[in-house]
Amino acid sequence: MRGCIFDLDGTLTNTLESLTCSVNLTLKEMDLPPITMDQCRSFVGDGARKLIERTLEACGDAHLSRLEEGMEIYGRIFHDNCTYHVTPYDGIREMLNDLKEMGIRLAVLSNKPHGQTVDVVRQIFGEGIFDFVQGQSGELPRKPDPAGVLYLLDKMGVGKDDCVYVGDSEVDVATARAAGVTGVAVTWGFRSRRILEEAGARRLISHPGELTEFLKENR
């Protein structure tokens, strides 16, 4: 293995408080009731638009008549709050440093908007850890479409057989499968082990150090 592509929210960083806060500030501005953190946990993973769609449906807007309004407000609020209380999960920094020392090429692929993805990675991890960072943009379809993974493989100069894709959701499981790369599902993120297994995850880890060991064994 020569490359590793990571999902961001729920995989590298615990962003649930940031996302819930931004959603609820959006709802407050729209005079709608707030959602819970557990609801937000189940709504994330498919990008900002799906997050707001699911939120509005939960608030009773079954026809999504206020979707564009919600997207405009959320985009503005999330821009200012994308790193609010965001922290890396325990063991992530150490694991990334270990992989870097092993010469593994590292990238991030997120369904979070590209600008916010770059901001979070830069503010939480600084410069120099990741070779490439890619968020959702008009240039590439969002996961589970494999286009983002294939784009990063080309950028990194790494073949499908030499790359691991790491994520915490059923979207990530499907992304790895669609791209034809080895998938690793983490159990510390936004989805339970049961949901990941039902999505077809074959390789699951419960601590970042397990990824380091897996890559050492498969170099």
Query: Is 154 tagged catalytic?
Result: no
Q: Which of 7, 46, 98, 119 is catalytic?
A: 7
Identify residue 105 by its one-letter amino acid code. R
3 state SS for the chain: CCEEEECCECCCEECHHHHHHHHHHHHHHCCCCCCCHHHHHHHCCCCHHHHHHHHHHHCCCCCCCCHHHHHHHHHHHHHHHCCCCCEECCCHHHHHHHHHHCCCEEEEEEEEEHHHHHHHHHHHHCCCCCCEEEEEECCECCCCCCHHHHHHHHHHCCCHHHEEEEECCHHHHHHHHHHCCEEEEECCCCCCHHHHHHCCCCCEECCHHHHHHHHHHCC
Query: What backbone phi and psi angles, to 5 degrees, belong to 165?
Result: -110, 125
Question: Which residues are catalytically annotated?
Answer: 7
